[in-house]
């Protein structure tokens, strides 16, 4: 350190040891798992550091098949899809970005899947070895929040501290904008529903409560949202709400729930409970956190019909369609006043 400073007249200059990823020009980001939550942050960050970013194509049947072949049988669908995306990317980039998201504080943890993702990728694609670009977000144990994690990542990429901070600012702004846009979408949906109600219609509003990687994935949650829209319902996504508010609301529901994403979903359910007609819970098979929170939701959220769907790699859409259609029919009947007293 001392000699380096002398050579560079007091300035820190990245070298091979401090910046092992300086040569990475093209960063690949799999369009799976947390990309659907932090996509704007990640892309902007790497672009601000002068890297070009390649994002894998939206999930197809082939992605699922490739991912299933690569992963352990018992892994959840979401992580199988994730490996499928990495597989698709690895020929097209210098390094794949797989961050290790552990937690954002106490009771704001992520599923251990996100924690293990970088090592799972590195061990799955070990021959030939795949370059994995990663950073650790862990506020409780390692006292490292997202900002610090990404700043140190920028250092590894050979950025100067100033550049790194600038890149983080740009990324954080982009992320904020993306979240605002998502909230605006929810608001627009509710506005449209209100206008329809004023016009004398009886529109159905359904809350799709699922992890972002399901809600935004065209092959899983996307089909369910499309089905609901096709049946004339307005769909509100639980993940498109103010994260701070939903997180705060979730503490009224549960004291000890460890997972931040599940907390936000539950917060959205409790906040929007009166504004929607029904709730659709979607989880990937076999999802660890959802196996418990879905039980808690069904147990404690009363007064609104809840449809609990589990999607797996095998599921054909026919069975899903039947269940979704009948759920919408039930909601319609209920809205008219029930089977017996209504005019249906």
Partner 1 sequence: MAKHNEGYVSFDENGTLIKCTKTAEEAAEETRGGTAEAGSAAEDADADAEAVGAADARDDAAAIRVRGFRRSGFSPLDTVVSTFGDGVRGARVVVGEAGRAFSLFDPKQARQRKKARRDKRHARTRVAFFRFSHYDAAFKYFVEQVLDADFVALPPATKRTFDLGSRYSSDSVCAPFKHILGDYIEALELGADVLVQFAGPCRLGYYGELQQSILRDLGYEFDMLNFSTVTGKPAVDYIKICRAKVNPNVSVPHGARQLLATFKMIEALDEVNDFYLANAGFECEPGSFVRTRDRFFDAMRSCTCERDIVETRNAFLDEFRNLPVDKPAHPLRVGIVGEFFTAPDEHSNLQLERKLLDMGVEVHRTVSLTNRALHYNEKNLRASVSDYVTYDMGPTSSLTLAAALKYAQEDFDGVVHVKSSGCTPEIDCMTVLARIASDYRMPVLYLSYDSQTSDTGLDTRLEAFYDMLAMKKERG
- Footprint of partner 1 (CB under 8 A): 71-72, 74-76, 100, 102, 106, 109, 111-113, 115-116, 118-120, 122-124, 126, 134, 136, 140-141, 254-258, 285-289, 291-296, 299-300, 310
- State the minimum distance, in angstroms, from the CB of residue 72 to partner 1: 5
- State the minimum distance, in angstroms, from the CB of residue 255 to partner 1: 6
- State the minimum distance, in angstroms, from the CB of residue 156 to partner 1: 12
- State the minimum distance, in angstroms, from the CB of residue 141 to partner 1: 8
**Share in percent of the chain as helix, strand, coil (round to 5):** 50, 15, 35
- State the minimum distance, in angstroms, from the CB of residue 314 to partner 1: 16
- The 10 Å Cβ neighbour count of residue 337 is 11
Sequence-ordered list of residues with C-beta below 8 angstroms from that of 329, at least 6 positions apart, any chain: none
- Of 186, 173, 115, 129, nearest to 147 by C-alpha is 173
- State the minimum distance, in angstroms, from the CB of residue 205 to partner 1: 27
Structure tokens at 145: 């929040």
> Can you tell me the distance from the alpha carbon of 278 to that of 202, in angstroms, rounded to the nearest whole number?
14
The alpha carbon dihedral of 311, 250, 189, 279 has a sign of positive
Which residue, 126 or 199, is less far from partner 1 as judged by CB?
Answer: 126
Q: Is 319 exposed, middle or buried (0-12, 13-18, 19+ CB in 10 A)?
A: exposed
Three-state DSSP class for residue 2? helix
Which residue, 286 or 337, is less far from partner 1 as judged by CB?
Answer: 286
- State the minimum distance, in angstroms, from the CB of residue 86 to partner 1: 13
Contact in structure between 278 and 327 (CB atoms under 8 Å): yes
What letter does residue 144 receive in the DSSP assignment? B
Which residue, 42 or 82, is less far from partner 1 as judged by CB?
Answer: 82
Contact in structure between 297 and 257 (CB atoms under 8 Å): no
Which residue, 102 or 186, is less far from partner 1 as judged by CB?
Answer: 102
Which residue, 149 or 233, is less far from partner 1 as judged by CB?
Answer: 149
Contact in structure between 46 and 53 (CB atoms under 8 Å): yes
Kindly provide the residue ranges of all beta strands, DSSP E only, lying in the chain, ordered along the sequence.
26-29, 52-55, 95-97, 100-103, 132-133, 136-138, 204-209, 233-237, 278-284, 306-311
Which residue, 52 or 123, is less far from partner 1 as judged by CB?
Answer: 123
Structural element, H or E, at residue 139: none
Contact in structure between 306 and 314 (CB atoms under 8 Å): no
Structure tokens at 237: 């996504």
- State the minimum distance, in angstroms, from the CB of residue 259 to partner 1: 8
Which residue, 120 or 331, is less far from partner 1 as judged by CB?
Answer: 120
Which residue, 288 or 338, is less far from partner 1 as judged by CB?
Answer: 288
What is the b/e burial string over 248-268, where b = at least 16 CB atoms within 10 angstroms of the residue's CB? Answer: ebbeebbeebbbbbbbbbbbb
- State the minimum distance, in angstroms, from the CB of residue 115 to partner 1: 6
Which residue, 137 or 154, is less far from partner 1 as judged by CB?
Answer: 137
């Amino acid at each position: 350190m001392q000699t380096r400073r002398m050579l560079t007249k007091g300035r820190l200059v990245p070298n091979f040891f401090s910046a092992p990823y300086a040569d990475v020009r093209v960063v690949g980001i799999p369009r799976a798992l947390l990309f659907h939550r932090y996509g704007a942050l990640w892309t902007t960050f790497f672009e601000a550091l002068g890297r070009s970013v390649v994002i894998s194509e939206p999930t197809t049947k082939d992605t699922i098949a490739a991912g299933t072949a690569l992963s352990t049988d018992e892994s959840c669908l979401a992580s199988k899809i994730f490996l499928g995306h990495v597989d698709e990317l690895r020929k097209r980039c210098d390094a794949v970005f797989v961050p290790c998201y552990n937690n954002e504080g106490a009771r704001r943890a992520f599923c251990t899947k996100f924690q293990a993702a970088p090592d799972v990728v590195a061990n799955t694609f070990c021959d030939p070895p795949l370059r994995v670009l990663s950073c650790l977000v862990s506020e409780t144990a390692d006292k490292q929040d997202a900002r610090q994690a990404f700043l140190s990542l920028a250092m590894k990429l050979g950025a100067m501290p100033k550049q790194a901070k600038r890149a983080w600012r740009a990324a954080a702004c982009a992320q904020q904008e993306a979240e605002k846009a998502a909230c605006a979408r929810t608001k627009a949906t509710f506005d449209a529903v209100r206008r329809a109600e004023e016009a004398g219609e009886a529109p159905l509003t359904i809350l799709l409560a699922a992890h972002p990687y399901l809600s935004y994935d065209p092959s899983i949650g996307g089909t369910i949202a499309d089905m609901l829209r096709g049946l004339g319902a307005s769909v509100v996504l639980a993940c498109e709400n103010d994260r701070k508010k939903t997180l705060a609301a979730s503490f009224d529901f549960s004291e000890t729930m460890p997972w931040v994403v599940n907390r936000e979903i539950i917060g959205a359910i409790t906040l929007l409970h009166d504004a929607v007609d029904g709730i659709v819970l979607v989880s990937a098979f076999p999802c660890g956190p959802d196996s418990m929170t879905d039980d808690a939701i069904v147990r404690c959220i009363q007064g609104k019909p809840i449809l609990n769907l589990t999607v797996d790699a095998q599921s054909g859409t026919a069975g899903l369609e039947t269940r979704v259609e009948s759920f919408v029919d039930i909601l319609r009947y209920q809205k008219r006043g029930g089977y017996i007293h209504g005019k249906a």
